[in-house]
Amino acid sequence: MRKKIYYVAKAWSAVKTLELLKACNEFLFNAKPLEVCNVVDKIKFYTFVWMKKRAKLGDLAWQSWCSFSFRMFPL
């Protein structure tokens, strides 16, 4: 159980940091509007992909991932 929670935290942290930096750079250097919903959607998507591949949770479903419930993990 701890290992799976660790993978979620690691994936979310890495993806969140990269996407926030990317969005801030686009806003500052390219004068593109900061669209929070798009940033959140990208964070959710890339964290899902990371978890599905790295944590070997092949049965992880996108619908359950969007609910952000830890009940989706087989513990």
Q: Residue 73: what pLDDT?
A: 53
Q: Residue 49: what pLDDT?
A: 84
Q: Residue 75: what pLDDT?
A: 46
Q: Is the pLDDT of residue 59 over 80?
A: no
Q: Residue 53: what pLDDT?
A: 79
- Structure-block tokens of residue 44: 């959710």
7-49 residue pLDDT tens: 777 777 888 888 889 999 999 999 999 888 888 888 888 888 8
Cβ(62)–Cβ(48) under 8 Å? yes
Q: Residue 25: what pLDDT?
A: 94
Angle at 68 between CA 43 and CA 20, to 5 degrees: 20
Extents of the domains making up the chain: 2-72
